[in-house]
Chains A and B, each alone.
Chain A
Amino acid sequence: MPHRIEVGSRVPDTRAGVRKRKFQEFPFGKKIRDVFLVDVYTIDKKFRAKDLKKIGSALSNPVTEKFSVDAPIKMPAFDFAIEIGFLPGVTDNIGHTAKEIAQDLLKVEFKEGETVYTSQVSFVKGKITEMQAWELGEGLANPLIQRIYVKSFLEYKKNNGMGTIVPKVKLVHTPSVSEVNLNVSEDELVKIGKAGIANKDGSRRGPLALDLESMKVIKKYFEGLGRNPTDVEMESLAQTWSEHCKHTIFANSMDEIGEGIYKYYIKRATAEIRKKKGKKDFCVSVFKDNSGGIIFDDDWIITDKAETHNSPSALDPFGGAITGIVGVNRDAMGFGKGSKPVINLYGYCFADPADKSPLYKGENKSQKMLSPKRILEGVVAGVNSGGNCSGIPTPQGWVYFDKRYKGKPLIFVGTVGLIPRKVCGKPSWEKSAKPGDVIVMVGGRVGKDGIHGATFSSEAMDSGSPSTAVQIGDPITQKKMSDAIVKEARDLGLYNSITDNGAGGLSCSVAEMARECGGCLVDLDKIPLKYPGLDPWEIWISESQERMTLSVPKKSLKKFIDLMDRRGVEAVAIGEFNDSGKCTVVYNGAKVMDIDLGFLHDGVPKKHLSTKYLKIKYDEPNVDCPKDLTKTLHDMMSRLNVCSFDFISYQYDYVVQGSAVIGPLQGKGKVNGKASVMAPVLSSHKGVVISQGLYPRYSDIDTYHMAAAAIDTAIRNAVSVGVNFDKLALMDNFCWCSSDDERRLGQLKQAAKACFDYSTKFGTPFISGKDSMFNDFKGYDEDGNKVKISVPPTLLISSFGVTDDYRKSITLDVKFPGDLVYLIGDTYDETGGSEYFNYLGHIGNKVPHVDADKAIKTYKTFLSAVRGGLIVGSESVSIGGLGVSLARMSIAGQLGLDVDLSGISSEMRPDFLMFGESQSRLLVTVNPKNKSAFEKAMEGVTIHLIGRVRKDDKFDIKGLVKTNIETLNKFYRSTFKNY
C-alpha cells in the first residue's frame, strides 16, 4: 500500500492568499471566504512508520509547516477539497526531488517502479456548489496533463481524507516490431502517409505526414532491397523528411528560383556580406549547426538561436513554453563542442487576454481551447520557470497582440551562448563523430513524450496511458547536464561531437551525427526508459526532453560516464558510430532498421512550388483628426502593443551571472526597453547587444515592407542603445500560415526577398533561422460555426552583436531638466498598418518604407555623436510612433516635456504625425551645452529640435496634447495592472 504524506502551513501562507484571490476572480468568487493549501507526497514504496516520519520532517519546514503520515492533516473547517495531481507518465519534478531526499536520508534505493508522486489540495471555505468546486479545479489544472479530484467536506470526513491515488503508467502491451506492407494500392499508401501505420486493431498510429510521392520513393527504395520496411524505418524516415526537419518549403524550388528561397535569399545574403567584409568578417559558423556563431573577441565566440514552440504552447501553455525555453538552451549547448547559455530571449504573440469568447477544436462545443488569458499566463510562467531555474538571465523580450493569434499563439524563445574559440587547442565550432566512437545519450530518460504531436483523446488519457503530446520540462535535470558538459566534460576533451535531441529525438540526432563519420549502429535495448512497454519505434523517435547525444571515443568513455555519475547525470552508451554508410538499429538482437544514410538524408523527393502575389487595396480611414489628441495619446499608451509588460520583466531574472548592463526596464520610471546589453565575459568591457523587430500587421498590406521594417527596427533598436551595427548579426523566424496556398507563398517570397535586400544593404548577415509554416487553427466558434483562424504572416527578426565598450551604452530615459529633445530622421505620411490605424479600426495602405542607404547614414552619424558623448537619452521610434516614444522617454525619466511638432511637417495631419510609424527614426535628448556640437555632428542627416525636458511632470505637445507623467504612467500601466 502506498503511503501519503501531507504537508500544510502552520502560519499564514502567501501562496494560499494568491490562490484565494485567483478563485475570487470567478463569477461566484464572492462566496469564497478562505483557501488553504496542502502539498501531498504519495510514496509508492513500503516504509516503516518511523522512517515515514523522518521523510515527513525532511519534506517540510518546522518553522512554518506541519505534516501528517497516512492520515489526513488537521485542517480548519472547509466546504470542498480540490486535489490536482499529474496524469500517468507526466514528468513530476517535485516527486523526483522528494524521492532523492528519501533515498539520501535513509540510504535506501527505490526499485524500478517505486517512486514518489506529488499533488496539491486546495481546501476551500465558502458556500459554493460542487459544480463550482470543479470549475475552480478546471481553472487550475490542464486536463491534458493533470487530474482533478473534488470532495465535499462530508465525503472527506466519511472517507477519512482524499484517499490515495497512484498515477502509475500501466502498459499491458508487449513491445514489438512490425513490418509495413507497401505493396498496396495508391490509396492505401496515401492513407499510411496521412493517418499513419495501421495497428492490429485497425486504428492508425498518427500521421507520418508523407505524401504519395514520398511514399512511392520509399516503396521503390525498399523494393530495391527486396523487402518491406519496418515500422521503425517508416517512422524514422517520416521524422527526417518532415517539414520540421527538412524545411521543404524554404528548400524546394519556387517559381523561377531553382535553388529555393532559403539558399537564394537568406544563405546567399550572408555569403555576399561575408565576402564583402573580407578580413572584417565576424561570422564563424552559420546555418549549419544548432546555433549560429560570431566572434566576440580574441578568446570567445557568441552563439545565438531563436525557436518557436507554438502548437505545444496552445495545448499546454506552461509545459509548451518551458520545453521551448529549455529546448533552445540545448541549441546553445549543441553548438560546436558546447556553448554555455548566457542570455535568454522571448517574444509572445497572443490574442487579447480580455477576449472571453471560447473556441472549440471539435464539433458541438467539444475540445474547448484554452482562453487567451490562460495561454498568456501559462506561457509567461513556463518561461519564468525554465529560464529562472536554469540560471540564465532573461533581459530581452516583447509581447504582441492581435486577434488572429487566438487559435494559435506564437511563442518565440532564444538563447545566446558563449564558447571559447579554442577547446583543447582545436577550433571549438568544429566537431565530428569518428568511426568507433561510442554513442552516448545523456540527461533525461525516454518516455512516450511528444510522439506524433497532439493526436490523442483525453479519454484515453484517464485510463492509465501516458500523456504523449505535451511534457513538462525539467530544468534542473537539464541544468545538471548542462553544467557537467559545458563547464567540465567539454574542456577535458572527453567527446568528439555533440548535438541536441529535439524534434525526432534520437532518430534525428544520431542519424545527423552519423553523417559526420558515415554510419551508426544503435541498440535500442540499452536506452533507459521512464517506464516499460514502449515499442521500439517509439523509443527511437520519442521527443522526451533534456537529452543530448554525444560521440565519445572509447578511451574516454569510462572517464566521461564516471564524471556524469558524480554530477548526478544519467549517461548511457547506446551504440557506436561507424563508416558503414548505414543507419542501423537493433532491438532484441535483431536488426529493426537498416537504411542507407544517403537515402535517409537526401532521398526526400524535390518539389516545385508556385506562388501568386496579390496586393489588396484597403479603404483609407475616413475619420477626421480627433480634436483632443490628449485622450488619443492616453488610449494609445494603454494599447496592448504599447503598454508596459513589466509584470513579465519583474519575474524574469536578468541579473544572474553578474552580466547585466542594460536591462529590461529603463530609467527611474521603469519603461520596457527595446534592446538589452549584457557583458557575459566578466573580465571584458565588450558586451553583447540583443534586440528584435516585428510588424505582423504590415503583412496585411505588403510583406516586403513588413520584413524591411522588421530588419530596420531590429538594427535601429541596437543602434539606439549606442551599439554599432558593423558587428551585428540577424536571425529570421518565419511564422507563416496556410503555406499550401499560393498567395501565402507569394507573401513569403516577398518577405524573403526583403531579407536579402536589406541584410546585404546593412551588412548584417543572417546566421541562423527557423520557420513554422502552418500556424492555422481549424475549429468552431462559440456558436458552433466552423472557423479557420490564420496568424498574420509573422517574421521575427532578432539582432545580436558585439559592442566594443558597453560603458558607452545609452538608455531611453530623459535625464535632466532643460535637456533638448531632437527627432532624428524623416517622417512621412506612413500610417498604414500602424497601431494607430488598428485603434481606429482600419488597416490603410501607406505602409512605412525603409530607405536603407539613408538609414545607414543616419545610424552612422548618430553613432559618431554617441562616441562623442553627446547623447544623453535615446529611443528607437517604432510601434505607436513619435507620440508614444515621447511619452515613454518622459515616463522613464520621470520628467515632463515641452514639445512642438510643427517644425517637422506643417502639412501632415497631426494625428498621423504623432502616431505614424515611419522607420529609421530616433528620438534623443542632448545637454543644451552640447547643442552646437551635436548639431554639427549630425550634419547631413535630418534632425528637428522639437522640445525640451521640463523640471516638473507636465507633458505638453503644443496645440495637441496637455497632460502629465502621472496620468500617462497610469494609462501605460493600466492594461496589465492586475497581472
Chain B
Amino acid sequence: MKPKVIVMAGYGINSEEETKFVFEKAGATAEIVHINDLIGGLKKLKQYQILAFPGGFAHGDDTGSGNAYANKMRNNVWEQVRKFINDGNLAIGICNGCQIMANLGLIPGFDGIYGDRLIALRHNASARLECRWVNIKATSEKCVWTRDIDIMRCPIAHGEGNFYMEKKVLDRLNKQDQVVFRYVHEDGSRAKGEFPCNPNGAIEDIAAVSDETGRVLAIMPHPERNWNFYNQDNWTLLREKAARTGGKLPAEGQGMKLFRNAVRYFK
C-alpha cells in the first residue's frame, strides 16, 4: 500500500513543503493540511496513515516551543490523534514538530497511554538558536523509522532542543529502547555533552525519542534537510574525494532513509 501522509501546517510551521517533498520522493502520497482544516472537519486523520508535524516556529515559540500548537491540537482534535496512533499508524515530529509531540504527550507514551507531558525541550545551553551539522547515531532496535540506519549526518536548527526529563523517565526510556538517536562524534563515539558535538546540552546526548511502540518518532535534527547529497555541508570535499578515488557519489542525502523506512512499513 502506498501510504498517505498528512503534513500539518499553519501558525508558523514552516517546513511543510520540504517534508511533503521527501515523503513523496520516498514513495508516499502527501498532503499539507492546515490545522484549522483538521479542526474544522474539512480533513480527517483517518484518511491518512502517517502523521507528520514538520519543523517551524509555530506561534513564534511563544509560551514555550510547540506549546501553543500542542494546546490547539489537544483542545480540539485530541480524540482523533489518540485513535490514529492506537490504530497502528506512524507519526513523526521534526524539530518544532518534536516539541509539539513532547507537549502533546505523544512521547514517551508509557504503558500505551498518550497525553502525559513527561519530556521537555529546554532552551539550548547557549540560549540561542543553533544551526549546525551534527552526527547522530541510531540506537533503537524497535523504532520502525530507523531500520538499517547507523550514523546519519544532518543539520539542527533550533533554539529549544535540549531534551530534559526526570531521572525515572530517562531510566525507563533507556530500559524500553525508546532513545532513537544520540549525538555522536564522526567516529560514532558519544558526544558526552561536549559542545558543539552535542549542540544543545541534551541529557545523555539524546537527539530523538520514540513512543513505546517505536512507531511514533520525535526528532530534533532535520533528516529532511539532508534529502539531497548536495545539501550536506561537506559535499564538495566528498565529491573531490570520489573523483580521485573513482568512487561513486550517493544518489541522495542520508536523511532519505528515514522516510523510505516509513513508506516501506506499509508494504
Contacts and interface: CB of A to CB of B under 8 A. Distances in A.
Contact of B18 (A94, A384, A658, A811): A658
Nearest to A102: B71
- Ranked 9 nearest A-B pairs via Cβ: A391-B14, A658-B18, A97-B62, A63-B120, A18-B127, A653-B157, A94-B62, A476-B60, A389-B57
A388 B57 contact: yes
Contacts of A568: 10-11, 36
A475 B244 CA distance: 47
Interface of A: 11, 13-15, 17-18, 58-64, 93-94, 96-98, 100-101, 104-105, 384, 388-391, 474-476, 479-480, 483, 566-568, 649-663, 665, 667-668, 679, 682, 806-807, 809-811, 813, 815-816, 869, 872, 927
Interface string B111-126: 0000001111011111
Given A97-B63, A872-B240, 14 more contacts: A18-B127, A94-B60, A97-B60, A100-B68, A390-B14, A480-B12, A483-B10, A650-B131, A652-B129, A655-B155, A655-B157, A656-B225, A658-B18, A869-B243
Given A475-B60, A815-B237, A391 B68 contact: no
Interface in B221-237: 222, 224-225, 227-228, 230-231, 233-234, 236-237
A64 B62 contact: no
A105 B11 contact: no
B55 interface: yes
A499 to B, nearest CB: 24
Q: Would you call the interface of chain B mostly helix, strand, loop, or mixed?
A: mixed
Contact of A476 (B11, B75, B124): B11
A165 B131 CA distance: 37
Contacts of B213: none
Nearest to B231: A660
A653 B161 CA distance: 14
Contacts of B61: 389
Given A14-B201, A815-B240, A869-B243, A652 B103 contact: no
A658 B162 CA distance: 23
B9 A483 contact: yes
B117 A658 contact: no
A61 B64 contact: yes
B236 A14 contact: no
Contact of B227 (A654, A658, A662, A810): A658
A63 B132 contact: no
Contact of B131 (A94, A475, A655, A816): A655
Given A104-B71, A391-B57, A872-B240, A661 B231 contact: yes
B164 interface: yes
Given A101-B63, A391-B57, A476 B14 contact: no
Given A388-B129, A658-B18, A567 B10 contact: yes
25 contacts: A14-B126, A14-B162, A61-B103, A61-B120, A64-B120, A64-B164, A98-B63, A101-B63, A104-B75, A388-B157, A391-B15, A391-B56, A474-B60, A476-B11, A476-B57, A476-B60, A567-B10, A568-B11, A650-B132, A654-B131, A658-B22, A658-B224, A660-B155, A668-B237, A682-B21
A475 B59 CA distance: 9
A809 B155 CA distance: 20
Interface of B: 9-12, 14-15, 17-18, 21-22, 34, 36-37, 40, 55-57, 59-64, 67-68, 71-72, 75-76, 103, 117-120, 122-132, 155, 157, 159, 162, 164-166, 201, 222, 224-225, 227-228, 230-231, 233-234, 236-237, 239-240, 243-244
A655 B240 contact: no
Contacts of B12: 389, 391, 475-476, 479-480
A62 B115 CA distance: 13
Contacts of B71: 58, 101, 104-105
A490 to B, nearest CB: 15
Question: In this complex, which of B60, B75, B237, B239 has the most chain A Cβ atoms within 10 angstroms of its Cβ?
Answer: B60
A655 B222 contact: yes
Contacts of A657: 14-15, 17-18
Contacts of A105: 71, 75
Contact of B14 (A61, A98, A656, A815): A656
A816 B240 contact: yes
Contacts of B122: 11, 13-14, 64
Contacts of A667: 237
A64 B71 CA distance: 17
A655 B231 contact: yes
Contacts of A659: 18
A226 to B, nearest CB: 52
B127 A15 contact: yes
Contacts of A655: 131, 155, 157, 222, 225, 231
B170 to A, nearest CB: 12
A810 B129 CA distance: 28
A931 to B, nearest CB: 14
Contacts of B128: 384, 651
A661 B231 CA distance: 5
Contacts of A389: 12, 57, 60-61
A405 to B, nearest CB: 24
B24 to A, nearest CB: 10
A11 B164 contact: yes
A390 B67 CA distance: 18
B244 A927 contact: yes
B129 A104 contact: no
